[in-house]
Structure 1
């Protein structure tokens, strides 16, 4: 019968680590090869990870003998560590693209950006002063009085994520030899 319960006295503890974390732990820094993109289907989270395991101290299998001690499944010394204590170094598994959707991590920045790209951002209405037709050679002020910030709340795999879209730059195309005019405020 299948169960989500861990067996009594499980012999290992597990973790998934990013390659950079392992490199930093073993070599004191990351390498360019520690970063790799993994393809993922929509609504799936797939990351480049390394599974690791570490032995746990188990109860003495022969409690009737005169020596009471903890052991590991492969005989690695526990040095008297209490039952359930991790002993020895992490045992590094094979690196790969691992689907971690079932672990339900919060959305990554890349995943939030994919949702952002589908949002219906508003078109800002352009205004100019003086109103009406403009005369050549006279100064004209371009501006928008449309809202320049909009907040969206989206559901990403059960997480409520607030995305705030704010216009940070405005580019005005005047249609004459002036060319483009760029500013950081809306007018």
Structure 2
């Protein structure tokens, strides 16, 4: 935890790296499913999507580890109790989906005949090809990813509301930079 009751530097950096990566995953995921099957662009987009997904799995493991060590202080007292409860529950659901979405995609890919190419490097499948189980994990991946996209939209709206209210909630997850004391200027974390 940092001095302002927000998240520490490690959590902030991981949050924003994961947010960017998930934005890329959602964009490529929605785009690639409409491409003509069996064409080179399909393979490129799917392999890129899988590669970024594996990176997200690693980043999420690091984030969970950091969050277990670095718990932020309570939300400001001006935040209504219902919003505190909503934030707690949405964060719990976020963490479930942060694990479920990429993990189901990884398992799904291991049941497929194509496997995974991590930025061109073929990763061996650890499961036998199984179209039925592939379909099950594909559905889990697609439905949970769409639920996650909706939750992310809600998260962004809530973050913007807090930013407009200037209640200090948004600043808890923003990167901090030191300001140098100048003539008549302010110093400190800003």
TM-score by length of 1: 0.21
Higher relative contact order (CA 8 A, sep 6+): 2
Higher strand share: 1
TM-score by length of 2: 0.21
Structure number, greater radius of gyration: 1
Higher helix share: 2
